[in-house]
Structure 1
């Protein structure tokens, strides 16, 4: 396995994983992911097996502590240094789940965030995914204000610096 920053050439595989992991209301569009690859290049990490993208994690580094729904409509620019690292999406190919790849991807993403002096990493998740993030050191900060995909989301946060 190899970790690498996402490139536009990865877009078809990223979109496949996005649609395998999220329903129509939750999934990001190809246009949104094209924008994320361009704007969030330094914070868009893939994990590959024999050159195939089998997972990815992406999100902006911003001043806000938690994700706001507007960020899904207009991708924020990354802060060069400091701020908070957010995670919009983490996705793993279903054929590779249960092997610890998601945890390894989060660890590598956290390492990059530490190097950029981020204060915390935060994401929103559905209730059934809370145990996975808690296992990886995230703390449930309660129900998020998000209405994305008409779901109930929970803010998960990990202080890193």
Structure 2
């Protein structure tokens, strides 16, 4: 397995993984993913084995410490240096789960963030996923100010030193 930057030709597989891992209300649209591929090329990483995508992680590097719902509607442009690395999506193919691919993707994006001198990596997740992120060094910062998909989300943050 290798982790590489996203390619425009990855879109169909990315969408299939997204639909397998998230409800219709939670999932990003094809248009949103086209915009993310275009605007977030340096912070959109894909785990692949040959031509098959096993999983991916994507999010913007911005001044805001946490994800804001409007970011899902209009993808922010990455800061070149500094700010906070946010994670919109971490998703692993159902065929590749329980192989630590999600943890490897988090670590790879953390390295990108460190190289760009980001302050932290932050994301929102559902309560059932809090333990996974805690195992990867994230701290639960409490309920997020988000109404995305009508769910209760938790802010998870890993401060980079």
TM-score, normalised to structure 1, is 0.99
Question: How big is the shift at 1:52?
Answer: 1.1
Q: Which consecutive unaligned segments of at least 5 residues does structure 2 have?
A: none
CA distance in 2: counterparts of 1:4 and 1:36, whole angstroms: 15
Map residues 110-125 of structure 1 onto 2, 5 A cutoff: 110-125=110-125
Q: Which consecutive unaligned segments of at least 5 residues does structure 1 have?
A: none
* Number of the residue aligned with 1:38: 38
SS across alignment from 1:124: strand
* Number of the residue aligned with 1:66: 66
Question: How big is the shift at 1:50?
Answer: 1.7
CA distance in 2: counterparts of 1:5 and 1:70, whole angstroms: 25
* Number of the residue aligned with 1:126: 126
* Number of the residue aligned with 1:95: 95
SS across alignment from 1:134: helix
Question: How big is the shift at 1:42?
Answer: 0.3
SS across alignment from 1:110: helix
* Number of the residue aligned with 1:50: 50
Question: Is 1:4 matched with 2:4?
Answer: yes
Question: How big is the shift at 1:120?
Answer: 0.1
- In angstroms, what is the RMSD of aligned CA positions? 0.5
* Number of the residue aligned with 2:17: 17
Question: How big is the shift at 1:140?
Answer: 0.1
Runs of 4+ in 1 over 6 A off after TM superposition: none
Question: How big is the shift at 1:51?
Answer: 2.0
TM-score, normalised to structure 2, is 0.99
